[in-house]
Amino acid sequence: GALATSWHSNKFLDPVTDGAVLPVLHLNGYKIANPTVLARIPREELESYLLGCGWQPHFVAGHEPLDVHRRLAVTLDAVHDEIADLQRRARQDGVVERFRWPMVVLETPKGWTGPTEVDGLPVEGTWRSHQVPVAQVRTDPGHLAVLEEWLRSYRPEELFDEGGALRPELAALSPVGERRMGANPHANGGLLLRDLDLPDFRDYAVDVPAPGRVQAEDTRVLGAFLRDVVSDNPHNFRVMGPDETASNRLDALYEATSKVWLAETRDTDEHLAPRGRVMEMLSEQNCQGWLEGYLLTGRHGWFPCYEAFIHIVDSMFNQHAKWLKVTRELPWRRPIASLNYLLTSHVWRQDHNGFSHQDPGFIDHVVNKKASVVRVYLPPDANCLLSVADHCLRSRDYVNVIVAGKQPDQQWLSMDEAVRHCTKGAGIWEWASSDGGGEPDVVLACAGDTPTVEVLAATDLLRRELPDLKVRVVNVVDLMTLQPDTEHPHGLSDAHFDSLFTADRPIVFAYHGYPWLI
């Protein structure tokens, strides 16, 4: 998972332009009911493991609080100086190598300073200290006495006055302004956020003289746009994803940047360099963690991934979406850049990988979250994809999911038409319809690039085989327009919905994902 792969992030850390991370591995020995692996292997094996991951571990172990505090303070000073020295060597002396960055292994008992035992069973230093070690304080006088002894061990009379307020001499020690942890701009990244300098996405348009007359690879067209986003924003935009940038036809990025890589390189490698704006690791969880950290500290990013494998980050998406929902209720939390997923190599174009690579269910997972946070886009062609991508890169405090194909496919809309269509989110394609602007006999609706092709093919067949049948074609690019406007800010009003889909005519809906979502 992300925790295991993150130990290898030091192979992607440029000591010249990037900051530094001081990992602290806190070994207290237990999880909720079992021992932890790294706490139960010999010290030399643990040290070898961390050295093998490229770190220089510093061990601080003990159970006497004051002694541990003193030794930890000395160690933190030492590793801070070590980090500063490594950065000086890279930035001033021009040393080009992958450094062995320091880290701290802190070994203390689980439940440290808590009750040593409860009901005759050991607690401190065991798994029993997890969660609520003294559970019956309301009904068991013995438990209440244990809790009181525990709390009094912190000598509250030295910390608070008779009114319960923190003593002034202690309150004076508190940091002020940006020195406060919650007020540090790096912990409230919206304070540091700057708008991207975006090129005009219209400059990358596919020329569409008539619907369906030309083909293009949608994500390859997008790649040229992202290339110039990187060029114009060399310090606050990154593309992070598994080993798929070229596979997903975004390799135009390598005309402007490289994949950052501090490990060994060989003559046969391509696009690897100590400095680059593309970060690839074949761990979707790790890429999600990188991107979340990048966004939370005031920057912008893009996460391309095979559609079937984005499920690996389901729970991480959940937590980020929950965090965004809660921060909207905190006025001091400034908005951050949206988390943008591009899902490609999708379910309908798996000609050689097949069944194992077919799963469009991430959309279903996403739309369960709050309407104030999630957005889902299904652009039918390259020009719509460009318009949607520009919109998402300008947005704040959302999770945007874009699903787009990479294979050559028909192009339907000119850029002006695409912008109008994406602005509305859903619309009637009059050029594909045969209802003459009146009431249709049937509505053929579509959402997604391949379903759009299928609906237009069906329309063509119906026009030839049943020329008197009045067909209306509706394309949906913003999936959330299908919700009522009372449930989602992008939702259609009942009147607008009926103006597209009618109030009483049959609808056949070709949808990219699982049909019950529609």
Superfamily of domain 191-423: Thiamin diphosphate (ThDP)-binding fold, Pyr/PP domains (3.40.50.970)
Asked whether residue 1 carries a pLDDT value surpassing 90, the answer given is: no
Tally of residues, the chain? 518
Query: In the prediction, which pLDDT does 351 show?
Result: 72
Q: Which fold has domain 425-517?
A: Rossmann fold (3.40.50)
Contact assessment for residue 333 and residue 182, using Cβ atoms and an 8 Å cutoff: no
CA dihedral (229, 235, 241, 242) positive or negative: positive
Asked whether residue 353 carries a pLDDT value surpassing 80, the answer given is: no
Query: In the prediction, which pLDDT does 36 show?
Result: 96
Q: What is the pTM of this model?
A: 0.94
């991508």: which residue's tokens? 389
User: Cα(290)–Cα(216) distance, rounded to whole angstroms?
Assistant: 32
Contact assessment for residue 125 and residue 61, using Cβ atoms and an 8 Å cutoff: no
Edge-to-edge strand order for the sheet containing 55-61?
Answer: 24-27, 101-107, 55-61
* 18 secondary structure, DSSP code: S
Which pLDDT band holds residue 354 (cuts at 50, 70, 90)?
confident
Q: Using DSSP bridges, classify how beta strands 471-476 and 426-428 pair: parallel, antiparallel or unpaired.
A: antiparallel
Asked whether residue 97 carries a pLDDT value surpassing 90, the answer given is: no
Query: In the prediction, which pLDDT does 386 show?
Result: 99
User: Cα(125)–Cα(319) distance, rounded to whole angstroms?
Assistant: 30
Structural domain spans, the chain: 2-133, 191-423, 425-517
For residues 350 and 492, which has the higher predicted lDDT (pLDDT)?
492
Tell me the pLDDT tens digit for each residue of 439-493: 999 999 999 999 999 999 999 999 999 999 999 999 999 999 999 999 999 999 9
Query: In the prediction, which pLDDT does 379 show?
Result: 98
Q: What is the dihedral of CA 252, 256, 262, 266, to 10 degrees?
A: 60
Asked whether residue 234 carries a pLDDT value surpassing 80, the answer given is: yes
Tell me the pLDDT tens digit for each residue of 114-142: 999 999 999 999 999 998 999 999 999 99
User: Cα(150)–Cα(142) distance, rounded to whole angstroms?
Assistant: 12
Tell me the pLDDT tens digit for each residue of 14-35: 999 999 999 999 999 999 999 9
Asked whether residue 352 carries a pLDDT value surpassing 80, the answer given is: no
Tell me the pLDDT tens digit for each residue of 297-324: 999 999 999 999 999 999 999 999 999 9
Provide the percentage of residues in the chain whose pLDDT is more than 70.
100
Asked whether residue 50 carries a pLDDT value surpassing 90, the answer given is: yes
Q: Where are the beta strands (DSSP E) in 49-142?
A: 55-61, 101-107, 117-118, 121-122
Which pLDDT band holds residue 350 (cuts at 50, 70, 90)?
confident
Query: In the prediction, which pLDDT does 357 show?
Result: 79
Q: Using DSSP bridges, classify how beta strands 374-377 and 272-273 pair: parallel, antiparallel or unpaired.
A: unpaired
Helix (H) or strand (E) segment spanning residue 339: strand 339-344
Tell me the pLDDT tens digit for each residue of 391-450: 999 999 999 999 999 999 999 999 999 999 999 999 999 999 999 989 999 999 999 999
Contact assessment for residue 27 and residue 37, using Cβ atoms and an 8 Å cutoff: no
Separation in Å, CA 61 to CA 29, 44, 80, 103 = 12, 14, 19, 14
Query: In the prediction, which pLDDT does 358 show?
Result: 83
Query: In the prediction, which pLDDT does 347 show?
Result: 81
């292994």: which residue's tokens? 105
In the predicted model, what is the mean pLDDT of the chain?
A: 95
Taking alpha carbons only, the member of 241, 282, 238 closest to residue 257 is 238
Query: In the prediction, which pLDDT does 355 show?
Result: 80
Asked whether residue 59 carries a pLDDT value surpassing 80, the answer given is: yes
Chain centroid, CA 191 distance in Å? 20
User: Cα(204)–Cα(499) distance, rounded to whole angstroms?
Assistant: 33
Separation in Å, CA 340 to CA 1, 133, 221, 240, 280 = 21, 42, 17, 10, 16
- 191-423 and 425-517 share one CATH topology? yes
Which pLDDT band holds residue 339 (cuts at 50, 70, 90)?
very high
Separation in Å, CA 317 to CA 102, 189, 215, 324, 400 = 30, 19, 34, 11, 11
